Chain A
């Protein structure tokens, strides 16, 4: 087959052409061997730009395409799919980054242009040696495992089950519901219709544990934990330790991690006197709400049973606090405190309630109105981070500065409520390793990437939902569960995965059976296959392989090659880069 290379240089609306002479690069590329087309199309990544390239492919003018423009992380899928539709094998399409790696990092136009030429030249020399990519069908199990039986996990399990996928739901606690079912209400619930009394935790929008227990497609495992997992996307064998320590192994195609969060421990900020009986966290206040709910007798303070005359809420306990807590905003605490203050005000209209805040973040639909409603009810809002909560026998005293007036504030409170933030759960890291997911620096899972072909979800079959991925409200955790279930269902529906052979390949004639690769594969994708009695050579399962290259680097014989990064391709690029242009 002839090598008719088309080189398309993008000016990125001036982003590239302001420091790179794209026309000079294009002329340079056009003079290289086997390059038949070299152009600077208008708006390369737009429909028009793509159409022009597709036309070159469809008319048979070019059979290998090099795009020099932005980072290959951008639009890669778009380009691949567009060109593939025109009949170009994915293996014959390459990118070179002359924006982030060239235009944006240089000031001198001559130097940047020179470098862009080199990058394009290395791409051309690589493209000459590229081979077509074949697609391989691999197993995709049609069952799923949801870890965590909170609202996100329940919502995911219910959606999967409704779509006909048998789902295992593993919950560490004795019952489903998670943290949402330890709160007395959701806010600003006004959608419940006729019976709505605005403090009902069983809002129609939240999934019900009963629904989950009753569903014939869901196998609920309570008081259970995931012990370990072997395998990869499409084919995980997961060991689950149930009640009494009994182990059970299940096989699933996808996994949804919905393990939630851990509340910030306020004892880490000793100035807030959490050891005092009348200093409670927002979650502990919930318990008081729930306890009085049947009798509707209102809240009493723990030390002496008195109806509190004054209650102070302290916001951002452990949140937005790089010194004593975490840098992030926990998203729900403002609305939550406002809701709790409203409930308290309704129970005890005489009680003086103050919310000490830094900023009120009443985002999302209905919450700003909710905030104004509570403000109108007489709940006070005082801006400024509280410095100290002093203990005065049963009572407490708040020391802070009103940062609006600039006045120092010293005010008594019968009860103090600490609005504690969210932290990653202890299990996060262990599960991340098990299911090959990465964590961000904050300790939550790295963000969902909906560009499915290259997302971590596609590589690992492990999806995320709810607060495992960072602070979220109940409503958005439930939505998350639905998204994760939808993505997992999309993946499982066909019953197989099309893996590309852009992965590790073992040359069977060279494998010395040393087993170094088997020990190292982070995806358990390398198995031993007996070729003659007693001789088992390494074999890479394309379904599990992500092309990470660990085995290729470790293979001491060179039997393992990464199909897209073969030595000759790399040498060709080094040669091209080390020549003058």
Chain B
């Protein structure tokens, strides 16, 4: 049987998703047994022009990780969409925008300012920032355009499947590979992960959930053997799709939400805010003054970074207004 053709690409991402593929360990041998890897910038030397030269839909499966924040990312998303039969948004960045997506609280100028100018470890007296085109003696140099807004892969091109996680758990990757190999994929648009939330996989005991205050992890002296939310720690587990075996919780750390929203939830952060506001200070709420309520809410440090750490670009309100 002819091997399936596999492409892997990274757009705006940290590279963790690439490592996650290698985390397959000996399963990687199955991958190479099933697939011919035709494109994988991190591992093999194939240029964009080689991809451009491939016939349309000649790639069977493309695992695309990273969000879309430059014209290069966007170009490659369109190119790989055209060349691939199945395009999979691989990992949280491609799926919901992830950490790069938090740049939507800012814009290009502000990002450049922090990275290239107003930064204690940077010396840049000529105030040079990236330009799409620069004339030098030898001719014109170009760089991709850096966008104001970070987008998810499916905000740019049509996506067939999603594998969530930052990075995707090995089990989800390996299940996806098996499903592809056995031609056993669910309907288009499916997220290749369990339906239930992280709580379903969590080891902690759970009881009554009415909390009086919010604590950050370092403020809790000893983690008790019960649901972290009940201990006042914001755990995104309830609003986050499982499939990770609750490995953060296994290490006594709260879920921060990389699995993304759950099937019936239109907006992960909004769902968690709604859930948390339902249980926070619910006892004695009638006696509370506006100030009491404000001070309760003020206990949430960095609300966007807490509730939308991985999903800002795909949220209802997906960025700060651009002036």
| Chain A residues close to B by CB (< 8 Å) | 507, 509-516, 518-520, 535, 550, 553-559, 561, 567
Contacts and interface: CB of A to CB of B under 8 A. Distances in A.
B169 interface: no
Contacts of A513: 199-200, 206
B266 interface: yes
A443 to B, nearest CB: 14
11 contacts: A510-B196, A513-B199, A513-B200, A515-B209, A519-B279, A520-B210, A535-B200, A554-B274, A556-B238, A556-B274, A558-B265
Contacts of A512: 196-200, 237-238, 242, 262
A532 to B, nearest CB: 11
Contacts of B195: 509-510
A interface secondary structure, majority? loop
Nearest to B210: A519
Contacts of A514: 197, 199, 206, 209, 227, 229, 237-238
A555 B198 CA distance: 14
B85 interface: no
Nearest 7 pairs of A and B residues by beta carbon: A558-B264, A512-B197, A554-B278, A556-B238, A556-B239, A556-B275, A512-B199
Contacts of A520: 209-210, 278-279, 282
Contact of A509 (B196, B198, B272, B278): B196
Contacts of B229: 514
A477 to B, nearest CB: 30
A553 B198 contact: no
Nearest to A535: B200
Interface string B224-246: 00010100000001110010000
Given A512-B262, A519-B209, A557 B239 contact: yes
Nearest to B242: A512
Contact of B197 (A519, A550, A554, A557): A557
Contacts of A553: 274, 278
Nearest to B209: A519
Contact of A554 (B264, B266, B279): B279
A507 B264 CA distance: 9
**Range class of the B interface residue count:** 20 to 34
B55 to A, nearest CB: 40
Contacts of A556: 197, 238-239, 262, 265, 271-272, 274-275
Contacts of A559: 262, 264
A456 B287 CA distance: 25
A558 B278 contact: no
B201 to A, nearest CB: 9
B207 A554 contact: no
A23 to B, nearest CB: 39
Interface string B60-91: 00000000000000000000000000000000
From A515, A553, A556, name the one whose CB has the most chain B CB atoms within 10 angstroms. A556
A555 B278 CA distance: 9
Given A513-B206, A515-B209, 17 more contacts: A507-B264, A510-B196, A510-B264, A512-B198, A514-B209, A514-B237, A515-B227, A516-B238, A516-B278, A518-B209, A520-B210, A550-B278, A554-B274, A555-B271, A556-B265, A556-B274, A558-B264
Contact of A557 (B206, B227, B265, B279): B265
Contacts of A567: 264, 266
A554 B239 CA distance: 10
A555 B196 contact: no
Interface string B265-309: 110000110110011001000000000000000000000000000
Contacts of A554: 274-275, 278-279
Given A554-B278, A556-B275, A558-B271, A519 B238 contact: no
B25 interface: no
B267 to A, nearest CB: 10
Interface string B182-207: 00000000000001111110000011
A515 B206 contact: yes
B2 interface: no
Contacts of A516: 209, 238, 275, 278-279
A532 B263 CA distance: 22
Given A516-B278, A519-B279, A520-B278, A511 B196 contact: yes
